[in-house]
Amino acid sequence: MIINGKLQSEKLRKKIKNEILSLKRKTKKTPKLSVILIGNYLPSQIYVRNKEKMAKEVGMKSEIIRYHSNIPEKTIISKIIQLNKNKNISGILVQLPLPKHIKKENIINTIDPKKDVDGFNPINVGNLASGYNAIVPCTPLGCLKLIKSVKKNLSGKHAVIIGRSNLNGKPMTQLLLKENCTVTIVHSKTKNLKTQCSQADILIAAVGVPKLVKKDWVKRGSIIIDVGINKVKDKIVGDVDFKMVVKKARAITPVPGGVGPMTIACLLNNTLECFKAR
Ligand code: GUN
């Protein structure tokens, strides 16, 4: 079975659209997402444009605040403080990666945790790790929703996550622990990578190595989630060798059309949740 990320994303966005409509009627207010984009890195430009387009489609307000790549860090910090105070703004996102002279942690730490739609602020990271209410990073949240679209009860399942990033691997671990999975994180220094992966009931690949996961890396009947977006000879491919693995898996996400569309839907979901909480 191929997990249709586009369809799942459409379903979630329809639900968000209806909720915004009914909240607008009741409160006369609309959620608003502010995105800060620094520099002209092409993938970031594309991501941000898609985020704005989809926000508008669900009836959300959105703005992109653009800066030249040599903007001083303090200008960005001042802007974030201003957005934090602005009652009309529900969510703030600073697109990564940042230019080298800007320290990521200074930026992330400035965003009000209640408007941190990425869930990257240490307050949200800590709340998630403690099992408290938290804003959950969009990519792992999307992955979990895709897994649950094929299997509701994950209790006791062995999940293996390839990659230990703050954006995906680490928060994914917390989400799957909450679902009562047994979780293993593997990474570039792990010994017997293939053997570890082949024991997974749920395998999540988020390393950025094109087609790393081969047929003999996966257990028959497992669920495979491919977070990779790699450009190879003008084609986008995932971290999983889809053609080989699809025959062995119970369910698998394609690239493109799997995790990607779900990530943006989850961003809109987080923005709506921030709006409701305020
Ligand atoms: N760059 C790539 N993915 C992301 C993301 O999820 N959030 C932000 N802010 N930047 C990104």
Is the distance from CB of 147 to CB of 225 less than 8 angstroms? yes
The residues annotated with a catalytic role in the active site are 51, 95, 118
User: pTM of the full predicted structure?
Assistant: 0.96
165 lines ligand 1 (CB under 6 A): no
CA pseudo-torsion sign 199, 203, 209, 213: positive
Q: Is 238 exposed, middle or buried (0-12, 13-18, 19+ CB in 10 A)?
A: buried
What DSSP character marks residue 28? Answer: S
CA of 122 to the centre of ligand 1 (A): 16
Q: Give yes or no for residue 93 CB within 6 A of ligand 1.
A: yes
Task: Please tell me if the CB atom of residue 125 comes closer than 6 angstroms to any atom of ligand 1.
Answer: no
Query: Ligand 1, residues 52, 95, 104: which to mutate, most atoms within 8 A of Cβ?
Result: 95
Whether the CB of 94 sits within 6 Å of ligand 1: yes
Distance from C-alpha of 52 to C-alpha of 60, rounded to nearest angstrom: 9
Q: Is residue 95 within 8 Å of residue 36, measured between CB atoms?
A: yes
* Beta carbons within 8 Å of 7's beta carbon, 6+ residues apart: none
Positive or negative, the CA dihedral 90, 79, 107, 47 is positive
pLDDT tens string, the chain, 278 residues long: the values are 999 999 999 999 999 999 999 999 999 999 999 999 999 999 899 999 999 999 999 999 999 999 999 999 999 999 999 999 999 999 999 999 999 999 999 999 999 999 999 999 999 999 999 999 999 999 999 999 999 999 999 999 999 999 999 999 999 999 999 999 999 999 999 999 999 999 999 999 999 999 999 999 999 999 999 999 999 999 999 999 999 999 999 999 999 999 999 999 999 999 999 999 99
Taking the centre of ligand 1 as the mean of its atom positions, its distance from the CA of residue 34, in whole angstroms, is 14
How many angstroms does the Cα of residue 25 sit away from the middle of ligand 1? 32
Closest atom of ligand 1 relative to the 267 alpha carbon: 6
